A and B are shown apart, each in its own frame.
Chain A
Amino acid sequence: MSEERKLPPEAKQYQKLHAKREIKRPVVKNCIKAFLVGGTICTLGQAITTFYIYFFDFTEKTAGNPTVATLIIITMFLTGFGLYDPLGQFAGAGTAIPVTGFANAVISSAIEHRTEGFIQGVGSNMLKLAGPVIVYGVFTAFLIAIVKTVVTNILGL
């Protein structure tokens, strides 16, 4: 708030105009789109899991790994053929939150930096977007593991 007061009057006026003219984001519509597309991806994942449970020697516990691998391979092809981008534009978070979004982030940057060579280009840029996901994923898992240990072992709940 204090920053706003320091602004010159012209800037304040501009901000008012900007707020008036700015197109409102259709939040509810975006949410519905994301829900439907993300839900479809998850239904596909569940179908793959069930397939692995019925036809291969995987249990409910272990079928998760091959399912993730299959989804990543499907996304790899969709990204390579340019089909995932329009889907991502349409659904937003619906395609970014499932593991397919992670795969897309890795693969698209690998494709983008291919011209810079395998080491300097692909190798160093592949995880540029996905790296933070890994870092904060591991960090959050660490924090939650500490909380769980405290709750179960020390408080005995």
Chain B
Amino acid sequence: MSKKLVMLSIIAFVLFGCTNNDPTYEDAQNADFELLKIKSDVPVDQQPANQAKEFLSHYEEVKQVRAVNTEDDLVIAVDINHHDRFQLDHLQKELTKDVKKNFSGMTITFSTDRKILIELKRLEEDLQKQNMNVDEINERLEKIKKLSKEDT
């Protein structure tokens, strides 16, 4: 009898993590949130990327966000809080929907992958430091987009 009870409670506990909570948008930005706004003197105006970062930083589940854009492409990568990663698929879907609603004029590539996050961080830092021209940025971003579409 007690064995059954233990099993039931274990199953209940495990399934409890499977409920789909929608991402919560807060008015205030997350505390201790590292937000790198790219300067305006880069060859391609990074205004949309900065706006997307600002927007995503309001979500409670988002820990870090990196974004770079070209003329009509916007590539975003987010890091989700560890305990929210149980619902990674659902969160990714919802966040992509929200971002696409806000930036309807651009082609959005949204990723929660660590690799994309790292590559975007490197690109952001290079943008800040060096004088990259438009072609170089396009090339780097194209490579990142290709990576994000890769499947096993």
| Min CB–CB distance A144 → chain B (angstroms) | 16
Query: Looking at chain A's contact residues, is the secondary structure mostly helix, strand, loop, or mixed?
Result: loop
* Stretch among A8-16, A53-61, A110-118 lining the B interface: A53-61
A59 to B109, CA, bound (A): 15
Q: Which residues on B sit within 8 Å (CB–CB) of A59? A: 113-116, 147-148, 150
A124 CB-CB contact with B under 8 Å? no
Q: Are B114 and A53 in contact (CB under 8 A)?
A: yes
| Min CB–CB distance B8 → chain A (angstroms) | 21
Specify the chain A residue showing the minimal Cβ separation from B118.
A54
- Per the CB 8 Å criterion, the residue count for chain A at the interface is 11
| Min CB–CB distance A67 → chain B (angstroms) | 12
A23 to B150, CA, bound (A): 54
Q: Which residues on B sit within 8 Å (CB–CB) of A61? A: 113, 150-152
| Min CB–CB distance A11 → chain B (angstroms) | 31
| Min CB–CB distance A70 → chain B (angstroms) | 16
Residues of chain B in range 60-113 having any CB-CB distance to chain A below 8 Å: 113
Specify the chain B residue showing the minimal Cβ separation from A60.
B113
| Min CB–CB distance B63 → chain A (angstroms) | 15
Q: Which residues on A sit within 8 Å (CB–CB) of B152? A: 61-62, 64-65
List 10 tightest A-B contacts by C-beta distance, closest first: A59-B115, A60-B113, A59-B113, A53-B115, A60-B114, A62-B150, A62-B152, A59-B147, A53-B114, A61-B152
Seen from chain B, the residues whose Cβ lies within 8 Å of a Cβ on chain A are 113-116, 118, 147-148, 150-152
